[in-house]
């Protein structure tokens, strides 16, 4: 508990208030789920369904919403206008950022997401 004394310097009247500081934890993300793998559709790129990874990234916590951005600054700002589309066409080894935000506390964290492409080998005839 913290106490605060407020005093009027003209009248010297004062009052004392108390309040608690509450530290709320950030949303926890599953770091094992931060690599997105997709099969290559055209040479060097693939379509990634970003929101198909939401539950795994948020460790299955339903009160955490996940949004995706092309930079750390955009993820930290959390502006909906700069969110990436649900289906994102990405080149191999592209990097994006996911913002995980608790709908209960409003606390958030931003994590970097690397994209990995799986190359299709064509059969030899």
Interacting residues of 91 by C-beta distance below 8 A, sequence separation 6+: 44, 45, 115
| Domain spans in the chain, listed from the N-terminal domain onward | 31-118
Pick the CATH number of 31-118 from 3.40.190, 3.10.20, 1.10.1390, 2.60.40: 2.60.40
- 12-28 pLDDT per residue, tens: 999 999 999 888 888 88
The SS3 of residue 104 is coil
Other CB atoms within a 10 A radius of the CB of residue 54 amount to: 18
- 68-125 pLDDT per residue, tens: 999 999 999 999 999 999 888 877 677 889 999 999 999 999 998 876 666 555 455 5
């Amino acid at each position: 508990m913290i106490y605060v004394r407020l005093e009027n310097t003209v009248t010297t009247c004062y009052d004392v208030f108390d309040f608690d500081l509450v530290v709320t934890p950030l949303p926890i993300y599953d770091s094992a789920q931060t690599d997105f793998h997709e099969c290559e559709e055209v040479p060097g790129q693939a379509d990634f369904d970003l929101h198909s990874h939401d539950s795994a990234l948020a460790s299955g916590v339903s009160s955490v919403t996940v949004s995706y951005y092309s930079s750390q600054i955009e993820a930290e700002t959390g502006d909906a206008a700069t969110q990436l589309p649900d289906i994102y066409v990405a080149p191999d080894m592209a990097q994006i950022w996911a913002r995980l935000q608790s709908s209960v506390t409003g606390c958030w964290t931003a994590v970097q997401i690397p994209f990995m492409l799986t190359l299709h080998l064509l059969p030899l005839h």
